[in-house]
Amino acid sequence: MTSTTNPGTSTSTGTATATTSGETTSGETTSGETTGGTTGAVDFCEGEGGILLPGDEVTCTGDLGKKTFLFAICSCSGLTANNSLRTDSFDSNDPNMVPMDGGSVGVNGPYKAASMVDIGGSLWVDGKIETFNAHEVAQQLKCSDDLTAGSASHVADDLFTEGNLFAQNMTLTIDGDLHILPNKMNQGAKVLGATIKEQVDVKTPCDCDDLIDVPKIVSGFMQDNDNEALPIAPDELVGLPQPKSVELPCGRYFFTGIDSNSSLDITLTGRTVIAVAGDVQNAGAFHITLGPEAELDLFIAGNANFNNVATIGDPKRPAATRIYVGGAFKFASNFTLGANLYQPNAVFTANNMSEIWGSLFVGGLHGEPAGGPLRPGDPRARRL
């Protein structure tokens, strides 16, 4: 089955870097036939991209991707950027990874940016917008409430607002047209195009009403998996006192939980599903590494907590890894994510020492460093 998941663009919010992704384009997620012994059904291992959900003959993870990974960042509540935020995109088929236009941000709530922001796509906010530092939007800006620009800001396309504009001393420049309600005012913004007084209706950007039931999907894989073919026990990764390395070939694997007091390395060689009924807790270093033919759908019914160095996925092809979390996804140390992450029930905190390449669909986003200001990194992500 060919995937239509949205690989997306990248955003950066982190010391070292914090890049994330998600653009409204769709495409395949790489991978193909696995080599060297496969487990699971033949049609699963010979397929690529999205997978059918257990007990569902119609819906696949590609359908989930089309619904969720439409933006570099999609926040079900507000977004606060107290450290640098930057989004863009690239074509993962280009080995030079040249940045492209794209990397939109959608926010269902107030948007506040105290640090430098450079959005390579559009900014779409169902709430107030407040900026206090240099702020760049490469495409359209849509706002359902008042917009206040406290420092030099720029919109390279049209701006649509249901509220007033407050931009003293021309701190906001709009290259395109300003679309504004007849009873609202532009106080200081410089409009290079036309000012059009008309009805403006800014829709809610992120679909947070019909959420994916991650625990239900995990329960399906508890009944239908390939553990016995490897074989690997459902509790194989629970209570690990010593370092452990696991190689998983193509297959669908169910685990009751992942809990290690030492380092844990999981290497994937083919098309893989990992479903976790409980939490992922790792006190030591944690790594999930994808081989050149591998891709991953990771479903975690509970929470994910990484207290040490952690890497998941491939930054050069983040769309090859899709992570769905029922609870919260947290990290406390150096963290590299090359994946599209779905975490709608909790706020995602962009810690310092983080590098995120992919797309975020989260309950909220706070760009708060754990120990100092976040520095903009080299944002890259994937758009096909």
- Per the model's pLDDT, the better-predicted residue between 381 and 132 turns out to be 132
pLDDT digits (tens, 9 = 90+) for 175-230: 999 999 999 999 999 999 999 999 999 999 999 998 889 999 999 999 999 999 99
Specify which of 142-156, 312-326, 353-367 reaches the highest per-range mean pLDDT: 142-156
Cα–Cα distances in angstroms (integers) from residue 167 to residues 79, 80, 84, 129, in the given order: 21, 20, 21, 12
Residue type, 17: T
Report how far residue 195's alpha carbon sits from residue 179's, in angstroms, rounded to the nearest whole number: 6
pLDDT digits (tens, 9 = 90+) for 218-275: 999 999 999 999 999 999 999 999 999 999 999 999 999 999 999 999 999 999 999 9
Report how far residue 9's alpha carbon sits from residue 297's, in angstroms, rounded to the nearest whole number: 19
Q: Are 339 and 366 in contact (CB under 8 A)?
A: no
Report residue 351's pLDDT band, with 50, 70 and 90 as the boundaries. low
Report residue 44's pLDDT band, with 50, 70 and 90 as the boundaries. confident
Residue type, 223: Q
What average pLDDT does this structure show over 315-337? 90
Report how far residue 259's alpha carbon sits from residue 134's, in angstroms, rounded to the nearest whole number: 43
For 247-285, give one letter per residue: b (16+ CB within 10 A) or e: ebbbbbbbbebbbbeebbebebbbbbbbbbbbbbbbbbb
Whole-structure pTM value: 0.83
Give which of 96, 98, 153, 99 is closest to 123, Cα–Cα: 153
